[in-house]
Amino acid sequence: MEFLNRLNVKIFADGADKAGMLEMYAKPFVKGLTTNPTLMRKAGIADYRDFAKDILKEIPDRPISFEVFSDEFDGMERQALEIAGWGDNVYVKIPVTNTKGEPTYELVRKLAQYRVKLNVTALMTLAQVRDVVAALDPQVPSYVSVFAGRIADTGRDPLPLMAAAVELLKVNPKAELIWASPRELLNIFHADQIGCHVITVTNDILKKLSLVGFDLNNYSLDTVKMFYNDAVAAGFSL
């Protein structure tokens, strides 16, 4: 997959299944990993701390993000400081607001002053991007994670917003924009086209990379064969 060498955007694997995470970690084009409480719950993770520390034993040398889950700012701060202590490659995910809609900007500013590497997550507006960037420390590496896929789910084209977000991050050279929650493999090329720094991609999308550039006539034929074979396997008759 030589085309991957021509991409400037970095691909991060998004998941919480240990086997899947290690499978993606083994691929040199995967430059980092992210997870979140929802993915961890779906994967059946029961002990947050044990899971994270186990993964970090296997993945000690690429950026990996773990999220706080308290809804109170004091709890977020305590969890963030513990998570940050798990490894030099750890980024702490802080949601842009709590469940009451209260912004976390002051907490982000405080943690950045402690030199905690942050991944501020669940952003969907340029106002949020602007305020997060203002709260970050330009001397501390960080990620600003905009959920472009969820923006697209509302019928809005995320490309103009993401391109504008790239410009907003230019005042902070150590902050990188993440295109989060992509819905299709094409989003990797969208992110690369606008100069987005990182895109988080789930394993099911990453497994489609082998289709890039695939001959469409052959793909059409493969699709016809799939329909036929499934009809035969189902024993359909008319």
pLDDT given at position 4: 86
Taking all residues of the chain, what is their mean pLDDT, rounded to a whole number?
96
Q: How confident is the model at residue 203 (pLDDT cuts 50, 70, 90)?
A: confident
pLDDT given at position 158: 98
Residue 39 has pLDDT above 90, yes or no: yes
Residue 149 has pLDDT above 70, yes or no: yes
CB–CB of 80/105 below 8 Å?
A: no
CB–CB of 42/71 below 8 Å?
A: no
Average pLDDT value for residue range 140-148: 98
Q: What is the dihedral of CA 180, 188, 48, 116, to 10 degrees?
A: -70
CB–CB of 116/81 below 8 Å?
A: yes
Q: CA 37, CA 178: separation in Å to the nearest integer?
A: 18
How crowded is the C-beta side of 35, counted as CA atoms within 13 Å?
25
Q: How confident is the model at residue 1 (pLDDT cuts 50, 70, 90)?
A: low
Q: What is the dihedral of CA 217, 220, 221, 227, to 10 degrees?
A: 180
pLDDT in tens, 105-134: 999 999 999 999 999 999 999 999 999 999
Domains and CATH numbers, the chain: 2-212 (3.20.20.70)
pLDDT given at position 151: 98
pLDDT in tens, 160-174: 999 999 999 999 999
pLDDT in tens, 46-98: 999 999 999 999 999 999 999 999 999 999 999 999 999 999 999 999 999 99
Average pLDDT value for residue range 132-155: 98
Q: How confident is the model at residue 189 (pLDDT cuts 50, 70, 90)?
A: very high
Residue 9 has pLDDT above 70, yes or no: yes
pLDDT given at position 45: 96
Q: How confident is the model at residue 2 (pLDDT cuts 50, 70, 90)?
A: confident
